[in-house]
Structure 1
Amino acid sequence: MSTQLTVNGTPHRVDLPDDVPLLWVLRDEIGLTGTKFGCGVAACGACTVQIDGEAVRSCQVSLSDVWGDVTTIEGLGTPDSMAAIQQAWVAHQVAQCGYCQSGQIMQAAALLAETPDPTDAEIDDAMQGNLCRCGTYPRIRAAIHTAAAKMKET
């Protein structure tokens, strides 16, 4: 079945079954490999993308259930300018192995869009479904606070 979806502002027509997970559409059909496969059951957050600004686990969203525009890590900033959250991630050297980071950043970006000046508790609550086996949680929290401050400046 042919399905039309918009990813990072670009329309795509894909000919796949309706039940194919969005994760595989993004990676295998469209070629956007920044979104990672982690657990396949929405428990780790590595596959987090945004649909109409809402952070979702793409391994659990079927192609037929995509309800709006999809944003992946590749669409968050531009080639010439990283988003504030990406800049903060670099400044705080958040990534160690880096595998979970695209999901972490997409979740954090959705949090900041909804809550521009989050408390530690709000950050912890929003980020609790995104696992980091390297344990960089203090740096993640610091980067989110830094990005929030930078976003207030603009």
Structure 2
Amino acid sequence: MKMMAQQSATTVSPANLRRYVLKVNGEEREVTSYRDTSLLLVLRNELSLNGPKYGCGLGECGACTVMIDGVAARACVIPAYGVRQRAITTLEGLGQRDALHPVQQAFIDEQAAQCGYCLNGMIMTTAALLQDLPCPSDQQIRSALSGNLCRCGTHQEILCAVKRAVQLCLEQAEAQQ
């Protein structure tokens, strides 16, 4: 028991704090945290980015999903210090207020939210999916979103929103050509 108390005291010692830079939503941001502080806590507490939510703290529910180098990842189980050389995108960095990302717009269009707690994970996972697979099948959509929990039962609306996002992304790509 004494050993655990000593380790804990050592872990939270000011000498163990690290100052480093994270690239978040296209900007370099200086943060200070312990080496094992989760990316979620740094994003929310140090950078005031509240899109990612604290859900289970175990990487199981998806509420904390962000993209790291374009791949959906659970911010609650990733030490922020370990991703300091990588591009991190949060819900706030997907689009802007006056120019929403097609996935964000699709979720609004389809009213795919009830309590909204799962929304961050659903949107971020969908955005990552559509980067890799622009026209996913229903099964691919369900598979990609299977790790995101929605307790309110808006599953049908979420599936409709993802299908709408596919349409919006294709329209956006055509308009850019």
Q: Who wins on radius of gyration, i.e. which is larger? A: 2
Task: Answer yes or no: same fold by TM over 0.5.
Answer: yes
Please give the alpha-carbon distance, in whole angstroms, between the structure 2 residues aligned to 1:26 and 1:6. Answer: 11
Q: In the alignment, which residue of structure 2 is the partner of 1:6?
A: 23
Q: What 5-or-longer segments of structure 2 have no aligned partner?
A: 1-17, 173-177
Q: What amino acid is the match of 2:73?
A: V
1:131 matches 2:149: yes
Q: 1:31 aligns with which of 18, 43, 48?
A: 48
TM-score, scaled to structure 2: 0.85
Post-superposition Cα deviations, 1:56-100, rounded to whole Å, max 9, x if no partner, equal 000010012215111000011112111111111011100000111
Indicate yes or no: 2:53 matched with 1:56. Answer: no
Q: Does 1:109 align with 2:127?
A: yes
State the 1:136 CA deviation: 1.1
Structure 1 segments of 4 or more deviating over 3 A? none
State how many pairs are aligned. Answer: 154
Unaligned runs of 5+ residues in structure 1 are none
Matches within 5 A, 1:59-138: 59-66=76-83, 67-138=85-156
- TM-superposition CA deviations, 1:12-56 (whole Å, max 9, x none): 111111110000000000111111000000110000000010000
CA distance in 2, matches of 1:79, 1:92: 18
Q: Say which SS state the counterpart of residue 34 (structure 2) adopts.
A: coil
- TM, length-normalised to structure 1: 0.97
Secondary structure, in 3 states, of the residue corresponding to 1:2? strand
Please tell me whether residue 151 in structure 1 is matched to residue 166 in structure 2: no
Distance 1:151 1:49 in 2: 19
Greater share of residues in helix? 2
Matched AA of 2:67: Q
| Higher RCO (CA < 8 A, seq sep 6+) | 1
Distance in structure 2 (CA, Å) of the matches to 1:117 and 1:85: 13
